[in-house]
Amino acid sequence: MSVNVQNLSVAYRSRLGDVTAVDDVSFSLADGEIMGLAGESGSGKSTLGNALVFLDPRMKATGGKVTVDGRDLPIADNGAMRHKRMTEVSLVPQYAMSALTPTRKIGRLINDLLKSHHIKNRDEVLTELKRRLALIGLKEEVLGKYSFELSGGMRQRVTIIMSTLLNPSLLIADEVTSALDVSTQRAVGEMLLEFRDRGYVKSAIAITHDLSILAQIADSIAIMYAGRLAERAPTSVIVDNPLHPYTQALLNSLPEVGVRHDQALLTGIPGRPPSLANPPAGCRFRERCPFAFDKCTQTPPFEEIRPGHLVACWKVSQEQTAVTAGAGQEQA
Amino acid sequence: MRRYLTRKLITYVLAFFVGVTLDWALPHFMPGDPIQGMLSKYNVGSNASYAALYQQFSSEFGLNVPLWQQYLNFWHGVLTGNLGVSIYENPASVTSVVFQAMPYTLALLVPAVLLSYTLGNRLGAAAARRRFLDNWVLPVGYIFQAIPYAGLALLVPFLFGSLWHLFPTSLGYSENLIPTFDWTFISSLLDHWFLPFLTVFIVSLGGWAIGMRNLVIYELENDSSRYLRALGASERVVRGYAYRNASLPQLSGLALQLGVVIGGNIVTEIAFQYPGLGSLIYKAISNEDYFLLQGIFIFIVIGVLLANFIIDLVFISVDPRTRLSMQGAAA
Amino acid sequence: MSESISEAAAPEVAAVGLPSVRGVGAAPRKRNDFLYYGLRNKKLVFGLGLELILVLVALIGPMLAKYQPLQTTLPLQHPGSQHWLGTDLTGYDMYSQLTNGLRESYLIGALGAAFAAVVGMALGFIAGWRGGWVDELVQMITNVIVMIPSLVLLVVIGSYLSSRSILFEGAFIGLTTWPWVARAVRAQTFSLRGREYVELARLSGKRPVSIILKEIAPNMASYLFLAVILLFGSSMLIAASYDFLGLGPSGTVSIGWILNQAENGSALLYHLWWWFVPPVAVLTAMVAALLIANVGLDEVFNPKLREQ
Ligand SMILES: Nc1ncnc2c1ncn2[C@@H]1O[C@H](COP(=O)(O)OP(=O)(O)O)[C@@H](O)[C@H]1O
Ligand code: SF4
Ligand SMILES: [Mg+2]
């Protein structure tokens, strides 16, 4: 396992107390795996992704443990994290369009970053940088340009190249396609695949609220709802045979491929996600779930229903026990 | 490039035009008659000699031709540097009187502005998000920024002069010296220069420090700083970038603040009787020397325009957006 | 993709203390938050508290004075029980002068800020909303006004006027400082104009004036508020300079005028510190309190700036 996240909780400090935006989340990634992380806006996807790379002062990790390549990732220790950023874990932020400083040329910016990391063979890295630019069809000239001279798609690609330049083990790609038009979305998605295939990144988490793009690039998909993981399974399983009622609703409400959707995602299901400042006990999807029953007032465990398929739903785990019990009876 | 420069150029020309026109029009359209005011001082006896004198002054100052011609004559005078004769330093020309005073003003203004700007920026940037330094820079900065020029121009000489006898508190050099290029004179110049300089410097320092502190905090919280941190850039690099970005609005602020600083400089000069343009203005008012006043106004307008032009050039060299949009328009 | 020059230069006002261009949006549901953080922001509480005290002094102080500001009593009295802040060379009671001067400073601050805010906001909104040549023209005027040295202009005008009123001084200050507001408002309007809800309002055929008043202005309310506070402070400072040079309102007692008297009366030479130190300290406190409250408010409106 190249990445292992156990019981991670992350909170924002706010005046009404902590807002736990990521609550007891566990998952792991194999070498070479791209995991899609999907869910409505505000479900905590970015918080989860950011926490793995850079906890800003308003956030704090309230529990959990992260390892990358078998080594501890001290996410709460900003100082210890500094040199692990970009080299072990890296981030293409959701705000990529405004992430590049306006007063320095891209090349200079990258060079300063390398210096800041005390990279010795900087020339080699810069040669590699040019190779990678060429690979995705960007001219070397972009290094001599300022961010505002680049189109949105170019900025997005430049940030991906920058963030992956030192071959991190884990890349968080937060909404890298959301701000782009459809054809550029596809190209950027393919770029991620290519970078993974070439080993520029060992594994990646692709965050999006757009399931259709994940179907194209992700090996597995995790569905997040109100700060918790609802379901996690290989992409084909999620797409063809989702078990969690929320995943099902999400897929049912999915319009044609490529159409963007955000808040209007769950028009099929009335209601909105609960507030994270003061979430209800039990299953957080309860109020909107057509299958909710009395047991759902307790928090459902995130269980492996089948190998590689984890679900947090009482209905699913009950059916599962019924099936296995039934199977057991038959055998008896 | 052309578009940007054209726009700037039009602004400069327009400002100059407005300045000169105001300068000419105000005396003409304000209530009161400058010549009458002047003559009232001479205690002219008979009505006939009064009328004769009035006539003479009118023609001497070019007031006996139609308005539009006076206006054109004024422009001609401005463009040829012939702004008439100073009444109180008669027969010296306005231009020569102004040129005598100008070095003193520049000697105060230029170092005070440049030093307060650079030092203030450094201090403010260093204080941003650093509690200990901020606890010092912020309150002191507020007080400096909030202190009126007129107030500091009394407090500084009171402390450094009347109480502690460290520096002279009036004039540009010792009264008993004759301007020569020797050490005695130069040290006297410096001695007299220090307190008015300190006054102008201190007031500006606070403003720049606080402005920079706030801007750097904004920059440190924005997306590009977050990204740099997320990629493991050292705090030094993050701050360096924040400083660079924050310098742009500070620089435009410098252009905006010029008027205020010049005003403060005038107040300071008058309080210290420092022989620059400010004191000259004061003398011009008390002697009702309207031609001199008009001349000083023109020169200050020209000075502001020049300073703006220089700041523009620096801005272009620092801000890639402006620079590139200039090149973009040319391509 | 290059942004226009005007946009690049937009946050300039920040340098004089105004916040730079950024997303501002004070949704009503955040009101409680503002109150909460406002009451907990040391800068805001200190600044407002100090200002409040000074306003009270300006309101009540003159009523407690035993003498009229321009009533001659014994000259050169040290501060004491008879004359709380002493008397000057002529025998004017400094307590009476100072508290009256305080009043006038606030009056001038309010007038200057009001004039500047009205003109600056009107022109800023128009320029930012209409864009194009209107914007170009307004910017040009703004830049020209900035380059005319206002103090010298006042000297020229003032030397021809036999008497000047407080209203004249306030108007003059406002009419020479509005460019600061105009620039800020223009930049904000520019960036808000592109927002979805404004776009929506425009498409639905609302009149520009109503969009500006109902959609744009409320969204920059916090920003405008900060700008007006700063103008208030700078108007008081500018007035002090004018009054010091004898260009202030005729026949009134202001802090700048007191300083002028102190300077002319050789207060420095005779170490009559009570003549000028209290007025300077009070005016500095008045303006500093505003500045401090301003930064505090900025932190309240803008969560990212709060102390961490
Ligand atoms: N600065 C903040 N302070 C308090 N709560 C926040 C902050 N930022 C985000 N949150 C909370 O965290 C939740 C998750 O946000 P985010 O991770 O950005 O969601 P996503 O990326 O899935 O859209 C939001 O619903 C919000 O309630
Ligand atoms: S646990 Fe209950 S409420 Fe939650 S999704 Fe499953 S059935 Fe619905
Ligand atoms: Mg997000």
| Among the listed residues B268, B284, B285, the one whose alpha carbon sits nearest the alpha carbon of residue B192 | B268
Could C2 and A149 be called an inter-chain contact, meaning their C-beta atoms sit closer than 8 Å? yes
Take residue C113 and report the two structure tokens written for it: 């800020």
Q: So what's the pLDDT on residue C28?
A: 42
Whole-number Å distance, alpha carbon A54 to ligand 1 midpoint, is 15
Nearest CA residue ID for atom 7, ligand 1: A12
Per-residue pLDDT tens, chain C, 308 aa: give them: 332 222 222 333 333 333 333 333 334 456 677 788 778 888 899 999 999 999 999 999 888 888 888 888 878 888 888 878 888 888 888 888 899 999 999 999 999 999 999 999 999 989 988 888 898 899 889 988 988 888 888 888 887 777 789 999 999 999 999 998 898 888 888 878 777 777 777 777 777 788 877 777 777 888 788 888 889 999 999 999 999 998 889 888 999 999 999 898 888 888 888 999 999 999 999 999 999 998 888 888 877 777 65
Q: Which atom of ligand 1 is nearest to the CA of A47?
A: 17
How far is A138 from A151, CA to CA, in rounded Å?
Answer: 12
CB A58 within 8 A of CB C308: yes
Query: How many distinct helices (H) and strands (E) make up chain A?
Result: 10, 12
Q: How many CB atoms lie within 10 A of CB C4?
A: 14
Q: What does the domain layout of chain A look like in residue ranges?
A: 3-331
Residue B148, in any domain of the structure: yes
| Among the listed residues B207, B215, B195, B197, the one whose alpha carbon sits nearest the alpha carbon of residue B137 | B207
Nearest CA residue ID for atom 18, ligand 1: A46
Residue B294, in any domain of the structure: yes
Q: Which ligand is nearest to the CA of A282?
A: 2
Q: So what's the pLDDT on residue C10?
A: 30
Q: Which atom of ligand 2 is nearest to the CA of A314?
A: 1
Residues C157 and C15 in one domain: no
Residue range A252-264: mean pLDDT, rounded: 53
Residue B271, in any domain of the structure: yes
How many structural domains does chain B have? 1
Residues C23 and C157 in one domain: no
Residues C13 and C89 in one domain: no
Percent of chain A at pLDDT above 70? Answer: 92
| Among the listed residues C244, C170, C227, C262, the one whose alpha carbon sits nearest the alpha carbon of residue C21 | C227
How far is C40 from C306, CA to CA, in rounded Å?
Answer: 11
Residues C218 and C178 in one domain: yes
Question: What does residue C236 show for φ and ψ, rounded to 5 degrees?
Answer: -65, -40
Q: So what's the pLDDT on residue B37?
A: 65
CB < 8 Å & 24+ apart, contacts of A186-190:
A186/A216, A187/A136, A187/A153, A188/A153, A188/A156, A188/A157, A188/A160, A189/A213, A189/A216, A189/A217, A190/A217
Domain A3-331 classification at class level: alpha beta
Percent of chain B at pLDDT above 90? Answer: 49
Could C147 and B300 be called an inter-chain contact, meaning their C-beta atoms sit closer than 8 Å? no
Residues C9 and C39 in one domain: no
CATH number of the structural domain spanning residue B264: 1.10.3720.10
DSSP assignment, residue B309? H
Cα A20 to Cα A31, A42, B196, C141, C290, distances in angstroms:
29, 12, 58, 52, 37
Could A15 and C37 be called an inter-chain contact, meaning their C-beta atoms sit closer than 8 Å? yes
Per-residue pLDDT tens, chain B, 331 aa: give them: 567 778 888 889 999 999 999 988 887 776 666 667 666 666 666 777 777 777 777 776 677 778 888 889 889 988 988 888 887 777 888 899 999 999 999 999 999 999 999 999 999 999 998 888 888 888 899 999 999 999 999 999 999 988 898 988 888 888 887 888 888 888 899 989 999 999 999 999 999 999 999 999 999 999 999 999 999 999 999 999 999 999 998 998 898 888 889 999 999 999 999 999 999 998 888 887 888 888 999 999 999 999 999 998 898 888 888 777 666 544 3
pLDDT tens, position by position, B229-248: 999 999 999 999 999 999 99
Nearest CA residue ID for atom 6, ligand 2: A313
Q: Does C231 touch chain B (CB under 8 A)?
A: no
Residues C6 and C134 in one domain: no
Q: Which domain holds residue C22?
A: 1-30
Residue B29, in any domain of the structure: no
Q: Which atom of ligand 2 is nearest to the CA of A300?
A: 1
Contact list, C3 vs chain A (CB under 8 Å): 148
Query: How many distinct helices (H) and strands (E) make up chain B?
Result: 13, 0
Q: Does A91 touch chain B (CB under 8 A)?
A: yes
Facing residue for A148 by CB, picked from C2, C33, C36: C2
Residue range A21-36: mean pLDDT, rounded: 95
pLDDT tens, position by position, A90-148: 999 999 989 999 999 999 999 999 999 999 999 999 999 999 999 999 999 999 999 99
Residue B222, in any domain of the structure: yes
Residues C58 and C157 in one domain: yes
Residues C280 and C179 in one domain: yes
Residues C122 and C145 in one domain: yes
Residues C4 and C108 in one domain: no
Find, in chain C, the residue whose alpha carbon is nearest to that of A59: C308
Residue B86, in any domain of the structure: no
Residues C248 and C261 in one domain: yes
Residue B114, in any domain of the structure: yes
- Which chains have 3+ CB pairs within 8 A of A? B, C
CATH number of the structural domain spanning residue C139: 1.10.3720.10
How many structural domains does chain C have? 2
Residues C144 and C225 in one domain: yes
